[in-house]
Amino acid sequence: MKKAICLLSGGLDSAVSLYVACSEGYSPVALSIEYGQRHSREILVARALTQGLRIPHLFASLSMPWKGSALLDAKIELPKNRDEKTMSGEIPVTYVPGRNSVFLSMAMSCAETEKADAIFIGANILDYSGYPDCRPEYLRGFCEAMRLGTQAGAGGWMVEIKAPLIKLTKKDIVLLGQKLGVPFERTWSCYAGEDKPCGACDSCVLRAKGFREAGIPDPLFSV
């Protein structure tokens, strides 16, 4: 059976991406990375997701002491109640410099060791908060860099980077997740990381939009 390394933050998109890997016949190994983010709620739900699927779950930790993001520095205020036009027009303070490059490098190292065929990432260019490392051209460029800079690539064996949600709207992602049986109550999107979602940060706003347009109640707001 094909094997895949699935980057799993515990958020909606990464959870649906993991379930897509399962649906496509891959034997998944989840990889969650703790990088000093301002809360650990996503990591907790990521554990619950993989326990429900009974799949291997690897954890890696790293430090980004230079911070440079509201997700790493609690002194930086999270943007709230922004409209979609504003979100797509600028890179917000929640952008973590180079995060996907760091995560994909770690996933590629894991994939080489595990002899995996693919890496799954929940990157998305629609309904997103302006992150430049969620674009198809970035993923293609990174894949080429890994081909040139890994033993696997040098040997003619390439790990494919798959972003199955890259062109889906949040509505489509929610509908796909429902079809695949994703337990939405075991996902977490809020940047604030309190007991309940704040409902106002960019991630909450986009998640709410997806569930609303899909006509599906978000279980995080019904408990």
- Cα–Cα distance, 5 to 8 (Å, whole number): 9
Could you tell me which of 116, 109, 91, 100 has the C-alpha nearest to residue 29?
116
Q: Give the residue with greater pLDDT, 90 vs 59.
A: 59
pLDDT at 55 over 60: yes
CA distances from 37 to 71, 88, 177 (A): 5, 23, 25
**Given strand 118-120, what is the order of strands in its sheet?**
57-61, 27-34, 3-7, 118-120, 160-162
Strands 160-162 and 57-61: unpaired
The pLDDT value recorded for residue 89 is 65
Per-residue pLDDT tens for 108-153?
A: 999 999 999 999 999 998 755 567 888 889 999 999 998 888 888 8
Q: Which residue has the tokens 């998640």?
A: 207
Q: Please, what CATH class does the domain formed by 3-221 belong to?
A: alpha beta
- Cα–Cα distance, 33 to 110 (Å, whole number): 12
Rg (CA), the chain: 17
Report residue 27 as tokens: 């034997």
- Cα–Cα distance, 42 to 45 (Å, whole number): 5
Q: Which of 82-96, 156-170, 186-200 has the lowest mean pLDDT?
A: 82-96
Q: Give the residue with greater pLDDT, 8 vs 128.
A: 8
Inter-residue contact 129 to 87 (CB < 8 Å): yes
State pTM to two decimals: 0.94
pLDDT at 197 over 90: yes
pLDDT at 195 over 90: no
**Residue 39 carries which DSSP code?**
-
Question: If you average pLDDT over every residue of the chain, what do you get?
Answer: 92
Q: Give the residue with greater pLDDT, 58 vs 39.
A: 58
Per-residue pLDDT tens for 72-111?
A: 999 999 989 887 767 766 788 888 999 999 999 999 999 9
CA distances from 2 to 13, 25, 116 (A): 22, 7, 7
pLDDT band at 193 (very low <50, low <70, confident <90, very high): confident
The pLDDT value recorded for residue 127 is 59
The pLDDT value recorded for residue 131 is 79
pLDDT at 187 over 80: yes
Inter-residue contact 29 to 46 (CB < 8 Å): no
Average pLDDT over every residue of 191-201: 91
Number of H helices, E strands in the chain: 8, 5
Query: How many CB atoms are located within 10 Å of the residue 143 CB?
Result: 17
- Cα–Cα distance, 13 to 202 (Å, whole number): 14
Report residue 105 as tokens: 């490098």
pLDDT at 157 over 60: yes
The pLDDT value recorded for residue 20 is 98
